[in-house]
């Protein structure tokens, strides 16, 4: 009898250790009018469905948490047309998936559309965040989305269209262990993705950039911006272990700017028609380092510039540790160009003298298809 009772109690404890997942509906006449009002009721495993309606006010919630086995999913209700016009901000959130939502600013709200952060406390990182198959457009007052103190994140199959501000399409500040893949970036004035303030271990692959970094660059790796680091404690760098693989970058002022960064890998990318710089190698704040960065197996189609911009003799750039290897260059407007040479010839790579150029190739013509 006692054994049977213990088995019943054990089974009860087993089943009650998991919350019973529920569906929550947001919209006019639904369970809740907006995401902020719904968040206090959400438990691990819940699914939130956004219905057609007007969502034009800023929303904020701290501490929204699923768990490793029961994520909270926020998505579009089936067969509905959803446009979110006010920004959403989540602080210290865990195991959250946001998918299939369309975010777009209006004249009433033109700032960051989605923001995960840690409230300035490394012990309160947001983590395990997935943003999938969403679109973000028409920002003029800030970053399109911001991950400021986030770990273990994925941004995939998203669109970032039209940002006319001096901020970024994706701002990665104090973030780590993340992936940006299969996304499209178009018509972004300043930066497609920025990596700074102690951002580390980020993989960016199979993305498409067009007219991104019109005034700056598509990918700004190791941007300067302050001396306070929450996570991790980055003593001598702003970005570390950033991997840029197999992206297509068309137009923009420059495809890459490598600044206060170490261990960057830029590999197997296709760069077409950068307007001002082939790439940039910058020093910025001298107390932080630029070293151990490589560009390998990239294809550069150049028809406007052959200029590698740099910081000549900068003390915080370890020039010999920066390697350009096995890249293919074609200069359609300078068919007599023999390739980047920091020691003479055409003025192209003199500002980054000291870097290693190894086995790069110069194409003399290309096949039109």
The 10s digit of each residue's pLDDT in 328-339 is 999 999 989 999
Q: Which residues contact 141 (CB under 8 A, 6 or more apart)?
A: 105, 110, 111, 165
Task: Let me know if residue 138 belongs to a domain.
Answer: yes
Handedness of CA 149, 164, 242, 322 (dihedral sign): negative
For residue 304, cis peptide bond before it (omega within 30 degrees of 0): no
- CA 32/CA 55 separation, integer angstroms: 12
Task: Let me know if residue 222 belongs to a domain.
Answer: yes
Task: Let me know if residue 80 belongs to a domain.
Answer: no
Task: Let me know if residue 118 belongs to a domain.
Answer: yes
Question: How many structural domains comprise the chain?
Answer: 1
Say which residue the tokens 């039109």 belong to: 368
Q: Which residues contact 146 (CB under 8 A, 6 or more apart)?
A: 112, 114, 115, 116, 117, 170, 171, 173
**3-state class of 286 per DSSP?**
coil
pLDDT for residue 52: 96
CATH number of the domain within which 333 lies: 2.160.20
The string of DSSP codes covering 156-212 is ES-EEEEE-SSSEEEEEES-EEEEEES-EEEEESSEEEEEESSEEEEEEES-EEEEE
Structural domain for 219, as ranges:
110-362
Task: Let me know if residue 367 belongs to a domain.
Answer: no
pLDDT for residue 171: 98
Take residue 213 and report the two structure tokens written for it: 């970094």
Task: Let me know if residue 308 belongs to a domain.
Answer: yes
The 10s digit of each residue's pLDDT in 123-182 is 899 999 999 999 999 999 999 999 999 999 999 999 999 999 999 999 999 999 999 999
pLDDT for residue 17: 47
Do 319 and 347 meet the contact criterion of CB atoms below 8 Å apart?
no
Task: Let me know if residue 83 belongs to a domain.
Answer: no
Question: Which residues of the chain register pLDDT less than 70?
Answer: 1-19, 227-231, 366-369
Burial grade of 15 (CB within 10 A; 0-12, 13-18, 19 or more):
exposed
Q: Which residues contact 308 (CB under 8 A, 6 or more apart)?
A: 277, 278, 279, 280, 281, 340, 348, 349, 351, 352
- CA 145/CA 167 separation, integer angstroms: 10
pLDDT for residue 8: 47
Would you give the distance in Å from CA 139 to the centre of its chain? 16
Task: Let me know if residue 287 belongs to a domain.
Answer: yes
């Amino acid at each position: 009898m006692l054994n049977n009772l213990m088995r019943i109690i054990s089974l009860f404890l087993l089943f009650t250790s998991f919350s019973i997942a529920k569906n929550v509906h947001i919209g006019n006449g639904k369970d809740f009018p907006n995401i902020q009002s719904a968040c206090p009721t959400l438990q691990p495993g819940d699914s939130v469905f956004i219905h057609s309606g007007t969502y034009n006010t800023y929303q904020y919630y701290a501490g929204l948490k699923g768990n490793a086995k029961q994520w909270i999913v926020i998505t579009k209700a089936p067969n509905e047309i959803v446009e979110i016009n006010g920004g959403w901000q989540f602080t210290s959130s865990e195991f959250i998936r946001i998918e299939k939502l369309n975010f777009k600013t209006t004249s009433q709200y033109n700032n960051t559309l989605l923001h995960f952060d840690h409230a300035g406390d490394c012990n309160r990182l947001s983590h395990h965040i997935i943003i999938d198959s969403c679109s973000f457009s028409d920002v003029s007052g800030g970053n399109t989305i911001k991950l400021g103190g986030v770990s273990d994140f994925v941004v995939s199959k998203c669109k970032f269209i039209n940002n006319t501000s001096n901020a970024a399409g994706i701002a990665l500040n104090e973030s780590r262990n993340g992936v940006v893949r299969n996304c499209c970036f178009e018509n972004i004035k300043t930066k497609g993705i920025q990596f700074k303030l102690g951002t580390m271990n980020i993989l960016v692959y199979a993305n498409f950039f067009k007219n991104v970094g019109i005034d700056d660059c598509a990918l700004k790796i190791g941007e300067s911006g302050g001396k306070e680091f929450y996570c991790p404690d980055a003593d001598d760098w702003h970005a570390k272990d950033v991997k840029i693989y197999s992206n297509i970058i068309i137009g923009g002022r420059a495809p890459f700017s490598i600044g206060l960064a170490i261990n960057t890998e830029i590999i197997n990318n296709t760069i077409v028609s950068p307007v001002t710089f082939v790439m940039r190698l910058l020093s910025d704040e001298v107390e932080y380092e630029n070293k151990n960065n490589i560009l390998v197996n990239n294809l550069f189609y150049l028809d406007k510039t052959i200029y590698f911009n740099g910081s000549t003799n900068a003390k915080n750039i370890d020039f010999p540790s920066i390697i350009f290897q096995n890249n293919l260059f074609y200069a359609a407007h300078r068919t007599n160009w023999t390739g980047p040479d920091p020691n003479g010839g055409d003025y192209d790579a003199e500002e980054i003298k000291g870097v290693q150029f190894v086995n790069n190739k110069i194409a003399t013509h290309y096949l039109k298809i």
